[in-house]
C-alpha cells in the first residue's frame, strides 16, 4: 500500500475543475501539503495507507474559498456607521475613525479576528487591501492561511505613509520580505482612481509588469465615483486606466458597477479581472455589477466580501448565494449565474484573478491542499438532490466543519487549531469599548 500523510474520505468531492459536478464517495490523498490523488473511496482504502484519515460521511469537500477583496482589519469597525451612502460613510465616519485609531496593533488584532471568521466560513485565501500591510502579512503567515497582501497606495498622507514615494518604499520592502514565502504573495493596491493620481498609477503599471504582480484596485464602485472622474479628468475611470496602460490580465478591478457595453468588451479584450462584492454594493446602494454580461463576454469574475465595516460579515459562502440570486434579478433571467458557476467564482476564478490558478482554486493533483468541508447532513440542507445547488442556495457557514490550507488542519470540527477564539473576542471587545468611547466624544 502507498503511504501518504492524509486521506480525506467525503460523501461528495466537488473539484470545480473540470466542471463534473460532484464525485460521490470519493477521497483526496495529501502528501507534502499538496493533493496527490482524487479517487473513489473504495480504491483509496485499498491502495493507500495514511498517517491521518478523516471520515466525512455527510460532507461535501470543495476547494478552499478565495475571498478576492477584503479589508481584513476593518473587522474592528464592523457596524460603526451603518445605513449610510458610500461617500458619507467613507468621508464622515470611516476615514475619521481610521485616522484616529488605525495603528499596527489595530491591524494585528483586526486581521486575526478576520482570519478566524474567514476560516470558520470556509475561506482559505484572501486578497487584502489596507494600511500597514506588512502587519497583515505577518498575521496571516502566523495563522497558516494563504493571502495576497496589497501594497497600499493613496495620494494623501495617513498614519502609514506621508506620500506616494513612501507608500512604494514600504510596499516594496514587504514584497522583498515575502517574495519566497509559501503562503504570502503581494499585489500593488492603489486604492481607487479618485484617490490616486496619474503619475503613481503609471509607476504601478511599470512595476507590475517588471515584478509580475497583480494590481488590486477599487474601480467603478459607484455612479458618484464615475461622475467625479469625468469632472476631474474628462473621462470615465476605466477609460483613464486604459490610457495609463493598466487594463490587462494583471488588473483585479473591484466592484465594477455602472458599466457600458463597450467597457465590458474592452475588459474582455484586455483580460482584466473583475471582483464582484454583491452584499457590500447592496448595503451601500452602490449599483449592480453586470455579472452575467461580463461572464458571457469572457471576463473572469471572482467574488469578494469587501470589509466587515460595509458587509457586515466575511462569509463568502453567503456571498456566493447573494451573487447567484442577485444576478437572476438584475438580468431578469432565472438561469443567470447557475450554482456551479457561482461556486467557481469563489474558488478557481479567484485564483485566476490573483495569478494563482496553477496552485489553488480547484481540487486537482499537484495543487496545494487548500480544502473546505461542508456538512450537508443537517436538517437545513435535507433532503438533498444536488450537492452543488444545496451548497449555494441552502447551506450556511455554520455547516463548515473543517478547513485545510496546504494540508494543515486549521479548522477541526468547527474549532480553530491555530487561533484562540476567546482571546480574539476579548481583544475585539476592548477595541469596541475604546472606539465607542472615542466616537461618543467626537
Q: Do the Cβ atoms of 44 and 89 come closer than 8 Å?
A: no
- Same domain? 205 vs 340: yes
* Domain boundaries, position 29: 2-63+368-406
- Same domain? 156 vs 119: yes
- Same domain? 15 vs 159: no
Q: Is 116 inside a domain boundary?
A: yes
- Same domain? 185 vs 257: yes
Partners of 25 in beta bridges:
none
- Same domain? 46 vs 103: no
- Same domain? 222 vs 347: yes
Q: Is 430 inside a domain boundary?
A: no
Q: Is 37 inside a domain boundary?
A: yes
- Same domain? 284 vs 399: no
Q: Is 437 inside a domain boundary?
A: no
- Same domain? 24 vs 165: no
Q: Which residues contact 111 (CB under 8 A, 6 or more apart)?
A: 72, 73, 75, 128, 135, 136, 139, 140
- Same domain? 195 vs 321: yes
Query: Number of folded domains in the chain?
Result: 2
| CATH number of the domain within which 34 lies | 2.30.40.10
Q: Compute the average pLDDT of residues 158-175.
A: 97
Q: Is 416 inside a domain boundary?
A: no
- Same domain? 129 vs 47: no
| CATH number of the domain within which 337 lies | 3.20.20.140
Q: Do the Cβ atoms of 442 and 95 come closer than 8 Å?
A: no
Q: Is 442 inside a domain boundary?
A: no
Q: Is 358 inside a domain boundary?
A: no
Give the model's pLDDT for residue 440.
46
- Same domain? 242 vs 389: no
pLDDT digits (tens, 9 = 90+) for 57-98: 999 999 999 999 999 999 999 999 899 888 888 889 888 888
Task: Please report, rounded to a whole number, the percentage of residues in the chain having pLDDT higher than 90.
Answer: 92
- Same domain? 195 vs 271: yes
3-state secondary structure the chain: CEEEEEEEEEEEECCCCCCCCCEEEEEEEEECCEEEEEEEHHHHHHHEEEEEEEEEEEEEEEECEEEEEECHHHHHHCCCCCCCCHHHHHHHHHHHHHHHHCCHHHHHHHHHHHHHHHHHCCEEEEEECCCCHHHHHHHHHHHCCEEEEEEEECCCCCCCCCCHHHHHHHHHHHHHHHCCCCCEEEEEEECCCCCCCHHHHHHHHHHHHHHCCCEEEEECCCHHHHHHHHHHHCCCHHHHHHHCCCCCCCEEEEECCCCCHHHHHHHHHHCCEEEECHHHHHHCCCCCCCHHHHHHHCCCEEECCCCCCCCCCCCHHHHHHHHHHHHHHHCCCCCCCCHHHHHHHCCHHHHHHCCCCCCCCCCCCCCECCEEEEECCCHHHCCCCCHHHHHHHCCCHHHEEEEEECCEEEEECCEECCCCHHHHHHHHHHHHHHHHHHHHHC
**Alpha-carbon distance values, 70 to 260, 407, 437 (Å):** 26, 24, 26
Give the model's pLDDT for residue 19.
83
User: Alpha-carbon distance 38 to 292, whole Å?
Assistant: 31
Judged against a pLDDT cut of 90, whether residue 437 lies above it is answered with no
Judged against a pLDDT cut of 50, whether residue 125 lies above it is answered with yes
Q: What average pLDDT does the structure give for the chain?
A: 96
Q: Is 177 inside a domain boundary?
A: yes
Give the model's pLDDT for residue 296.
98
pLDDT digits (tens, 9 = 90+) for 33-66: 999 999 999 999 999 999 999 999 999 999 999 9
Amino acid at each position: 500500500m502507498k503511504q501518504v500523510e492524509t486521506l480525506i474520505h467525503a460523501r461528495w468531492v466537488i473539484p470545480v475543475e473540470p466542471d463534473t459536478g460532484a464525485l460521490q464517495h470519493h477521497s483526496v490523498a495529501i502528501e507534502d501539503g499538496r493533493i496527490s490523488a482524487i479517487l473513489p473511496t473504495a480504491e483509496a482504502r485499498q491502495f493507500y495507507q495514511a498517517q491521518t484519515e478523516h471520515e466525512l460521511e455527510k460532507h461535501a469537500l470543495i476547494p478552499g474559498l478565495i475571498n478576492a477583496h477584503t479589508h481584513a482589519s476593518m473587522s474592528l469597525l464592523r457596524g460603526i456607521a451603518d445605513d449610510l451612502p458610500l461617500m458619507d460613510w467613507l468621508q464622515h465616519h470611516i476615514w475619521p475613525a481610521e485616522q484616529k485609531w488605525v495603528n499596527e496593533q489595530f491591524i494585528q488584532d483586526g486581521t486575526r479576528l478576520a482570519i478566524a471568521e474567514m476560516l470558520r466560513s470556509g475561506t482559505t485565501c484572501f486578497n487584502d487591501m489596507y494600511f500597514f500591510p506588512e502587519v497583515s502579512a505577518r498575521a496571516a503567515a502566523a495563522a497558516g492561511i494563504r493571502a495576497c497582501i496589497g501594497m497600499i497606495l493613496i495620494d494623501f498622507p495617513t498614519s502609514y505613509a506621508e506620500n506616494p514615494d513612501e507608500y512604494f518604499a514600504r510596499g516594496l520592502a514587504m514584497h522583498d520580505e515575502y517574495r519566497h514565502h509559501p503562503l504570502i504573495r503581494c499585489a500593488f493596491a492603489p486604492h481607487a482612481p479618485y484617490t490616486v493620481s496619474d503619475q503613481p498609477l503609471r509607476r504601478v503599471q511599470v512595476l507590475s509588469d517588471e515584478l509580475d504582480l497583480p494590481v488590486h484596485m477599487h474601480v467603478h464602485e459607484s455612479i458618484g465615483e464615475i461622475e467625479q472622474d469625468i469632472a476631474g479628468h474628462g473621462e470615465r475611470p476605466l477609460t483613464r486606466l486604459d490610457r495609463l496602460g493598466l487594463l490587462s490580465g494583471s488588473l483585479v478591478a473591484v466592484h465594477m458597477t455602472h458599466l457600458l457595453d463597450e467597457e465590458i468588451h474592452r475588459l474582455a479584450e484586455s483580460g482584466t479581472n473583475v471582483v464582484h462584492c454583491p452584499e457590500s454594493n447592496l448595503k451601500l446602494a452602490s449599483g449592480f455589477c453586470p455579472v452575467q454580461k461580463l461572464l458571457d463576454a469572457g471576463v473572469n469574475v471572482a467574488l469578494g466580501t469587501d470589509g466587515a465595516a460595509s458587509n457586515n460579515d466575511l462569509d463568502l459562502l453567503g456571498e456566493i448565494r447573494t451573487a447567484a440570486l442577485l444576478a437572476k434579478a438584475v438580468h431578469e433571467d432565472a438561469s443567470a449565474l447557475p450554482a456551479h458557476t457561482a461556486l467557481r467564482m469563489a474558488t478557481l476564478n479567484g485564483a485566476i484573478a490573483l495569478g494563482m490558478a496553477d496552485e489553488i482554486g480547484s481540487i486537482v493533483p499537484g495543487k496545494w491542499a487548500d480544502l473546505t468541508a461542508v456538512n450537508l447532513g443537517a436538517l437545513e440542507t435535507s433532503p438533498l438532490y444536488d450537492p452543488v445547488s444545496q451548497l449555494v442556495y441552502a447551506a450556511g457557514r455554520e455547516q463548515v466543519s473543517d478547513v485545510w490550507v496546504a494540508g494543515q488542519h486549521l479548522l477541526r470540527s468547527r474549532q480553530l487549531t491555530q487561533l484562540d477564539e476567546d482571546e480574539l473576542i476579548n481583544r475585539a471587545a476592548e477595541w469596541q469599548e475604546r472606539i465607542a468611547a472615542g466616537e461618543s466624544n467626537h
